[in-house]
Amino acid sequence: MTHVHDSHTPDVTHTHGKRVTTPAEARHPLDPLTGEEIAAARRILADAGHVTEHTRVPRMLPVDPPKDVLAAWREGDALDRRIRVTLLDRDTGVSSEAIVSVSRGEIDALTVLDTGSAPYGQPQYLFEEYDAAAQLVKASPEWQAAMHRRGLEEHMELAFCSPLAPGFFDREDEVGKRIIRSHTYLRFSESDSPWAHPIEGLVAHVDLTARRVFKLDDEGDIPVPQQHGNYTLDVQGPARSSLKPIEITQPEGPSFSVDGSLVQWENWKFRVGFNQQEGLVLNQVTWRDGDEDRSVATRASVPEMVVPYGDTSVSRHWISYFDAGEYLLGKNANSLALGCDCLGVIHYFDAFVPDDHGNPVVIPQAVCMHEEDYGILWKHTDLAGNAETRRSRRLVVSYFTTIGNYDYGFFWYFYLDGSIQMEAKATGIVVAGAGIPGSEDPHGPEIAPGIFTPVHQHIFCARLDVAIDGEDNTLHEIEAAGIPTGPENPYGNAFTWTNTQLTSELEAQRIANGLASRVWEVRSAHRTNYVGKPTAYWLIPEGKMLLAAQPESTVHGRAAFATKHLWGTQYDAEELYPAGFAPNSRQPGDGLPAWTAADRSLDGEDIVLWHSFGPTHIPRTEDWPIMPVDYSGFWFKPHGFLDQNPAMNLPADARASASCASGDSTGNCCTAGGCGCCAGDACRCGSANCGCGTPRG
Ligand SMILES: [Cu+2]
């Protein structure tokens, strides 16, 4: 596979990808927004006079029905599909938020947001504002003078001015304004990657409403790095020929089924959602146990992340991007039709998002779903030398999004043993500043000649509306613990585990501790397992560094979610985004710190877990010109939820799904499967139940 996009082949070679168009009509209350619904929301607002030529639509989000309404809903019942629409008047900067029922054709609420003061954040950026900001910068005499002063005037036309969220610094000329800051990068040709040619110390500060550059920083005179950072094979090639092809084939098709947004795969069942902010959302995740679909999570997503930078320079000390709340992860989702990241038999989900004007845009093949072989799930060789081995397989549901220089993949993995894994993949191009080659910068290593890349973090926040056998759950911190040698530990070898219930929101703000194998357990408040203990799942963190910024910094309070690995909250339908609904330019304090101040009970309540994780990035030479994927994430594993290993009846044949021919009952694959079949019976290779009821002796 090359990195070169080929727009003529939407279905990528070597896959058996199938384009599946999202149904035109929503059939279930949790189905993602359709194009028609987005268009209807705009039409309803326009008919009511709320859309002028200056009106833009920074965000539309589906409003899930209340949980009791959803629980009572049955197939065939009417839907009340509601959308939360943010409106921005680009001329005045006034923004408002409407709740529109596209089913009833009514506006349920319309609120003007007080974005003119510090406690309110700005709506998310529009694509047209990126272009507008670049034009304003290039047209400003201050920027042009700086380019002349640096001897770069011949590069002004091709220069790239990046649109960067400003952070919050309580400055008089910024509070309540719609601000974007802009770095300038040179390009030496139309197709040249700009990120390799930063102009250090040049920052233009733009007021998007007043449409002007209100300030320009122009410090120092560091030469612009000249070495290219281009990464396509026409520059980096020729492509090596040493790798032989790998073909992933599933001759009988995939093991999952899809009905609208509903996915079933082995014991798992869930609904695939998608929205402009969070991208992929998983709803109503259940595990089939006997005749029962047991709930594990009501909703799971990664609704926010922050990318704070750690250097003191004029170019970057203010940077702390909220890639979800400021730029919108789902809006920037890749269409995998243009470069697929999945192998095997793939099911794609299209996604619909509004454009800047609120008109629907389809992102074809935004979400990819496929199965992957995952090595060994369990194995034992007995005393006689007989080996039993079962292979692991996982269902992968994923999407990729590009926010400027960085690309993020959000991958949810479902396993045959009841585990769920979330993995965020960070790749793309590290933000570079320029420095004198060979010099030292305590905040940014030199990773290519003159390219200094500041330290930064990517801290994601997953929101897990857990529901272990129902919504009434309790939350516990479990640790392994040594015991002092003495009467309780006479030989010194003994250790145990501790269980501390986190009964309220202030108790449930926790930091990981790998040295104690600390995990967080969510238990059913009413259901017990085979051995009489509460059914439970463990949230297993990686426990890496939290927000590095100091408490005095404004990012500390704006990205408070990133100061703890775990927050537990009592469910509230309005509490969806851990840094608040609009973190852009917002003063510290919104989101999790505000919600948890009430210290609500978590004892037998409907609990939501917020888990912060992600890499602290000290860049390296190998990250240039594109960084190999950096993986981070967490596991959500059954711990006493199931009565035994639920994968004991997996077929023994590694190929799992190959059919035995009729009459092949004495063939290896059937006997190895743990049963024998009557001669002449058709059987599935390795199936635990061949239908003839004759277990192997
Ligand atoms: Cu990074």
Any domain includes 16: no
Q: Identify the domain boundary among 113, 146, 174.
A: 113
Any domain includes 491: no
Catalytically annotated residues: 323, 406
Q: What pLDDT score does 118 carry? A: 62
The answer to whether residues 302 and 439 belong to one domain is yes
Total length of the chain = 697
- Domain containing 171: what range? 127-231
Any domain includes 15: no
610, pLDDT greater than 90: yes
Q: How far is CA 678 from CA 460, 538, 664, 675, 696, in A?
A: 55, 43, 9, 10, 11
Any domain includes 137: yes
Contacts of 605 (CB under 8 A, 6+ apart): 471, 472, 473, 570, 571
Lowest-pLDDT range, 60-74, 110-124, 559-573, 575-589? Answer: 110-124
6, pLDDT greater than 60: no
- For ligand 1, the distance from its centroid to the CA atom of residue 430, given in whole angstroms, is 6
Residue 81's φ and ψ, nearest 5 degrees, are: -90, 120
The answer to whether residues 146 and 108 belong to one domain is no
Q: What pLDDT score does 344 carry? A: 84
Q: What pLDDT score does 645 carry? A: 97
61, pLDDT greater than 80: yes
Q: What is the mean pLDDT of the chain?
A: 91
Report percent pLDDT > 90 for the chain: 86
Any domain includes 25: no
The answer to whether residues 78 and 216 belong to one domain is no
Lowest-pLDDT range, 83-97, 370-384, 391-405, 660-674? Answer: 660-674
Please write down the long-range contacts of 689-696, taking CB distance under 8 Å and 24 or more positions apart: 690/665, 696/671
Q: What pLDDT score does 680 carry? A: 38
Instruction: Please report which confidence band the pLDDT of residue 101 belongs to, taking 50, 70 and 90 as the band edges.
Output: very high
The answer to whether residues 655 and 634 belong to one domain is no
Mean pLDDT value of segment 221-250: 94
CATH number assigned to the domain comprising residue 61:
3.10.450.40
- What single DSSP character describes residue 624? S
Instruction: Tell me the chain's radius of gyration from C-alpha atoms.
Output: 27
Q: Identify the domain boundary among 113, 136, 159.
A: 113
- For ligand 1, the distance from its centroid to the CA atom of residue 142, given in whole angstroms, is 31
Q: Reduced to 3 states, what is the DSSP secondary structure of residue 46?
A: helix
CATH number assigned to the domain comprising residue 374:
2.70.98.20
- For ligand 1, the distance from its centroid to the CA atom of residue 178, given in whole angstroms, is 26
Q: Reduced to 3 states, what is the DSSP secondary structure of residue 534?
A: strand
- For ligand 1, the distance from its centroid to the CA atom of residue 395, given in whole angstroms, is 27
- For ligand 1, the distance from its centroid to the CA atom of residue 96, given in whole angstroms, is 34
Residue 68's φ and ψ, nearest 5 degrees, are: -70, -35
The answer to whether residues 523 and 444 belong to one domain is yes
- For ligand 1, the distance from its centroid to the CA atom of residue 584, given in whole angstroms, is 20
Q: What pLDDT score does 342 carry? A: 77
Report how far residue 544's alpha carbon sits from residue 151's, in angstroms, rounded to the nearest whole number.
Answer: 44
Please, how many CA atoms are within 13 Å of residue 390, restricted to the half-sphere of its CB? 19
Report how far residue 192's alpha carbon sits from residue 158's, in angstroms, rounded to the nearest whole number.
Answer: 10
666, pLDDT greater than 70: no
Q: How many domains does the chain have?
A: 4
The answer to whether residues 107 and 134 belong to one domain is no
Decide: 584 and 591 in contact? Cβ < 8 Å.
Answer: no
Q: What pLDDT score does 16 carry? A: 42
How open is the CA angle 372-270-41, to the nearest 5 degrees? 120
134, pLDDT greater than 80: yes
Q: Which of 466, 463, 571 is nearest to 525 (CA)?
A: 466
Mean pLDDT value of segment 94-98: 96
- For ligand 1, the distance from its centroid to the CA atom of residue 617, given in whole angstroms, is 5
The answer to whether residues 321 and 205 belong to one domain is no
- For ligand 1, the distance from its centroid to the CA atom of residue 161, given in whole angstroms, is 20
Any domain includes 23: no
Report how far residue 495's alpha carbon sits from residue 499's, in angstroms, rounded to the nearest whole number.
Answer: 14
The answer to whether residues 140 and 75 belong to one domain is no
Full DSSP string of 416-434: TTS-EEEEEEEEE----EE
Q: What pLDDT score does 671 carry? A: 40
As beta bridge partners, residue 307 has: 321
The answer to whether residues 520 and 619 belong to one domain is yes
- For ligand 1, the distance from its centroid to the CA atom of residue 1, given in whole angstroms, is 25
Mean pLDDT value of segment 10-37: 68
Tokens standing for residue 321: 């991007």
Any domain includes 258: no
Lowest-pLDDT range, 581-590, 625-634, 667-676? Answer: 667-676
Q: What pLDDT score does 667 carry? A: 38
- For ligand 1, the distance from its centroid to the CA atom of residue 278, given in whole angstroms, is 20
Instruction: Please report which confidence band the pLDDT of residue 247 belongs to, taking 50, 70 and 90 as the band edges.
Output: confident
Report how far residue 306's alpha carbon sits from residue 323's, in angstroms, rounded to the nearest whole number.
Answer: 6
Q: What pLDDT score does 697 carry? A: 28
pLDDT in tens, 553-582: 999 999 999 999 999 999 999 999 999 999
Q: At what angle do helices 141-149 and 127-139 cross, to 10 degrees?
A: 60
pTM: 0.91
pLDDT in tens, 358-394: 999 999 999 999 999 999 999 999 999 999 999 999 9
Residue 669's φ and ψ, nearest 5 degrees, are: -70, -30
Burial letters for 362-380: b for 16+ Cβ neighbours within 10 Å, e otherwise?
ebbbbbbbbbeeeeebeee
Lowest-pLDDT range, 110-119, 302-311, 314-323, 478-487? Answer: 110-119
The answer to whether residues 392 and 540 belong to one domain is yes
The answer to whether residues 373 and 451 belong to one domain is yes
- For ligand 1, the distance from its centroid to the CA atom of residue 408, given in whole angstroms, is 10
Decide: 591 and 576 in contact? Cβ < 8 Å.
Answer: no
Decide: 380 and 51 in contact? Cβ < 8 Å.
Answer: no
Mean pLDDT value of segment 399-412: 97
- For ligand 1, the distance from its centroid to the CA atom of residue 549, given in whole angstroms, is 16
pLDDT in tens, 308-362: 999 999 999 999 999 999 999 999 999 987 766 678 899 999 999 999 999 999 9
The answer to whether residues 631 and 689 belong to one domain is no
Q: What pLDDT score does 343 carry? A: 81
Report how far residue 88's alpha carbon sits from residue 44's, in angstroms, rounded to the nearest whole number.
Answer: 16
Q: Identify the domain boundary among 216, 231, 246.
A: 231
Any domain includes 133: yes
